[in-house]
């Protein structure tokens, strides 16, 4: 309780005067508060281990937070994992099959991911990494590997008093990947203009409506049906247990890839030199620009800004050396960057900017160079090969 009293004294500011005009002093004070927040989180978790849900409620703890505290109290908590990341790891682990004996192993992997970043990352990315591990384990234990196909469904309701209708469903991984790729393409064809008051959900609906219109007109253009790309390497083991990254949030196994391949929708990529460079594209009839985008997916998969996991379908091809200087669009001069982080790049290199060499892409700023070590970025085929052959 002595530690709690000391923390309360600092929080209340007793005996402390902070010069708010001095940014270094303010940053130091905020850093102290972050440490206090972590100490309080561990202390309240320790105390919560002696209470139940009703006891925490009588103490004034919100029911949702009380459940979080009890979940923490019943689980291990590594020293290098902060409270936000711990909560996301445990949230993902709640979906782990009771038949699994790999809970500690998955926690170890997630803990290593959190502590291994050279730049801070978001708790959401930690949840995604842990969830991927849980999904893989649940699939390994599943009696029916085609359960997603068995559960597929779609329901379109009857029109209501406004004339609109609700729809819902559950789809297979390959159809989900195809739909997301189409939605990304439709979303980018109708950019938000000045005076556009649509919400994000309304824009998503309009993109879906555009996809339906494309289908009704049997639309095919020089970018293919949906620009859905699957990234593989020649070294990958081609069995049904393996899933391969795409330019959407979905990962597909061989059976799901073959289900799409019959319609010439999917493009396959072979990446087999030790630098992870694309040396072969197995595609249909595609323009040069599209082929380059396919190659970038195999090499990079997501935005290359450290910690970002925006999928390739929503990224721009950034010229590392500006077009105005080189007049060339070559693969060794292009990096995937989402629009949010693209705006942070200084083409004249007077500030933060992207660099690229045989080691891959690195973002440089006053703190030095850093590559994207998010869980999604590590799934890129080019990164896997560089890691496999220990190219730093």
Question: pLDDT tens for residues 307-365?
Answer: 898 888 788 888 888 866 765 667 778 889 998 898 888 888 888 899 988 888 999 98
For the chain, state the CA radius of gyration: 24
Bridge partners, 269 (sequence order) = 231, 281
Query: How far is 353 from 349, CA to CA, in rounded Å?
Result: 6
Domain definitions of the chain by residue range: 2-141, 149-216, 228-388
Please indicate whether residue 192 or residue 72 has the higher confidence score (pLDDT).
72
pLDDT > 70: what percent of the chain?
75
121-156 pLDDT tens trace: 789 999 999 999 999 898 888 777 777 888 899 998
* Entry pTM: 0.55
Please indicate whether residue 189 or residue 234 has the higher confidence score (pLDDT).
189
Put residue 325 in one of left, alpha, beta given phi > 0 → left and psi -120 to 50 → alpha. Answer: alpha
Which pLDDT does position 204 carry in this prediction? 86
Pick from 259-263, 319-323, 385-389: least confident: 259-263
Bridge partners, 334 (sequence order) = 319
3-state SS class at 80: coil
The whole-number average pLDDT for the span 177-202 is 79
Which pLDDT does position 4 carry in this prediction? 62
Query: How far is 257 from 282, CA to CA, in rounded Å?
Result: 14
The whole-number average pLDDT for the span 197-217 is 81
Which pLDDT does position 315 carry in this prediction? 84
Which pLDDT does position 235 carry in this prediction? 57
- Torsion sign across C-alpha atoms 369, 35, 27, 121: positive
- Residue written as token pair 């689980």: 75
Which pLDDT does position 223 carry in this prediction? 43
């Amino acid at each position: 309780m002595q530690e709690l009293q000391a923390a309360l004294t600092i929080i209340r500011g007793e005996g402390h005067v902070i010069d708010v005009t001095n940014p270094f002093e303010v940053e130091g004070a905020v850093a102290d508060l972050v440490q206090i927040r972590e100490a309080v989180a561990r202390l309240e978790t320790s105390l919560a281990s002696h209470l139940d849900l009703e006891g925490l409620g009588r103490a004034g703890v919100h029911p949702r937070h009380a459940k979080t505290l009890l979940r923490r109290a019943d689980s291990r908590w590594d020293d290098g994992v902060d409270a936000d990341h711990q909560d996301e790891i445990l949230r993902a682990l709640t979906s782990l099959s009771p038949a699994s004996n790999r809970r500690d192993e998955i926690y170890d992997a997630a803990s290593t991911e959190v502590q291994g970043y050279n730049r801070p990352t978001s708790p959401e990315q930690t949840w995604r990494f842990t969830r991927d591990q849980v999904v893989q384990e649940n699939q390994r234990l599943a009696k029916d590997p085609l359960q997603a196909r068995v559960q597929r469904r779609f329901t379109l309701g009857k029109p209501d008093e406004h004339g609109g209708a609700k729809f819902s469903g559950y789809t297979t991984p390959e159809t989900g990947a195809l739909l997301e790729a189409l939605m990304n393409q439709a979303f980018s064809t109708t950019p938000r203009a000045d005076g556009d008051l649509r919400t994000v959900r309304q824009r998503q609906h309009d993109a879906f409506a555009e996809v339906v219109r494309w289908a009704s007109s049997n639309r095919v253009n020089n970018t293919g049906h949906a620009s859905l790309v699957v990234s593989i390497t020649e070294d990958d083991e081609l069995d049904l247990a393996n899933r391969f990254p795409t330019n959407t949030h979905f990962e597909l196994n061989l059976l799901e890839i073959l289900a799409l391949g019959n319609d010439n929708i999917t493009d396959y990529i072979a990446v087999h030199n030790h630098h992870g460079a694309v040396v072969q594209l197995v595609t249909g009839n595609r323009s040069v620009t599209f082929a380059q985008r396919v190659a970038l997916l195999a090499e990079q998969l997501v935005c290359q800004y450290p910690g970002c996991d925006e999928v390739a379908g929503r990224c721009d091809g950034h010229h590392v050396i500006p077009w105005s200087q080189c007049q060339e669009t070559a693969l060794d001069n292009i990096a995937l960057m989402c629009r949010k982080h693209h705006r942070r790049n200084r083409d004249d290199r007077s500030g933060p900017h992207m660099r690229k060499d045989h080691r891959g892409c690195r973002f440089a700023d006053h703190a030095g160079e850093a590559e994207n070590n998010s869980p999604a970025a590590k799934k890129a085929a080019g990164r896997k090969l560089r890691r496999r052959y220990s190219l730093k």
